[in-house]
């Protein structure tokens, strides 16, 4: 689990024998108490999952925890931006329970019936280490970029093994524009962007650049509903401000 604001973050990892239902519930309860509206929250589930046709459960030492129970904690979080990444078998069975406004849900499988062990987790982790996942070359990897990287690698794995794919990753989020929220959810920065994030003066510019990039993405999704001249005018204004912001960042 990761929770934090734009300037700091708290990471808690539970694994092996320590990842009991009681410990997971306690960690989520603490997040409910600690997270504020301006925070972002990430929950990653790595391991094994099961789906009985009605309910998804994340397998733990001792009693498991269901998607409905996880949603009960997450729905109480005040964090306005939430990301849940389920990399387990049958993780698609959790989609309905976890779906909520302003929450991005990524699963390794499209449904609870895809029950074989997954390879998506391996490539999701790789996306958080490999700069090539940064497709727009802004020295930051978003949830959308990590998902696309891991999805392509997963598909390539089955093709290279000449095996029928038994997992089909899904990115689920509310509202118009596939991946719009995920494209605005930065997971990590590196290089100059990482250094800028540690500089209070440049941090504001970095935040502004991300806001402008998000506005440009949203405008592109709205293009069909806008008059051509109106779209061109708005896009030009955003691109010019983005260029000026980038110039200031590079000084």
Mean pLDDT of the chain: 88
pLDDT mean over 105-118:
97
Report the pLDDT averaged over residues 8-23: 89
CA dihedral (234, 222, 5, 124) positive or negative = negative
Checking if the pLDDT of 166 tops 60, the result is yes
> DSSP per residue over 29-90, as a string?
HHHHHH--TT-EEEEEE-S-EEE-SS-EEE--SSS-EEHHHHHHHHTT---SEEEEEE-STT
Per DSSP, what are the bridge partners of residue 142? 186
Percent of the chain with pLDDT over 90: 59
Tell me the whole-structure pTM to 2 decimals: 0.82
Q: Are 92 and 83 in contact (CB under 8 A)?
A: no
Higher pLDDT, 20 or 201: 20
Position 137 scores a pLDDT of 85
């Amino acid at each position: 689990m990761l929770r934090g604001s734009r300037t700091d973050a708290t990471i808690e990892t539970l694994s092996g024998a320590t990842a009991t239902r009681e410990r997971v519930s306690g960690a989520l309860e603490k997040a409910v108490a600690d997270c504020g509206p301006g925070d972002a929250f990430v929950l990653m589930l790595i391991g094994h999952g099961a789906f009985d046709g009605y309910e998804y459960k994340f397998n733990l030492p001792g009693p498991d925890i269901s998607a409905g129970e996880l949603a009960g904690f997450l729905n109480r979080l005040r964090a306005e931006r939430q990301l849940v990444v389920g990399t387990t078998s049958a993780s698609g069975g959790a989609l309905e329970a976890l779906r909520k406004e302003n929450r991005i849900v990524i699963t390794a499988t499209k449904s609870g019936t895809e029950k074989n062990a997954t390879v998506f987790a391996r490539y999701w982790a790789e996306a958080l280490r490999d700069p090539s996942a940064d497709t727009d070359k802004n020295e930051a990897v978003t949830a959308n970029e990590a998902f696309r990287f891991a999805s392509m690698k997963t598909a390539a794995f089955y093709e290279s093994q000449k095996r029928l794919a038994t997992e089909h990753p899904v990115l689920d989020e509310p509202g118009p524009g596939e991946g719009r929220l995920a494209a605005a959810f930065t997971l990590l920065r590196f290089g100059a962007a990482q250094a800028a994030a540690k500089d209070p003066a440049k941090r504001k510019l970095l935040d502004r650049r991300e806001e402008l990039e998000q506005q440009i993405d949203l405008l592109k999704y709205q293009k069909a509903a806008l008059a051509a001249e109106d779209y061109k005018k708005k896009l030009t204004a955003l691109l010019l401000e983005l260029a000026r912001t980038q110039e200031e960042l590079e000084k």
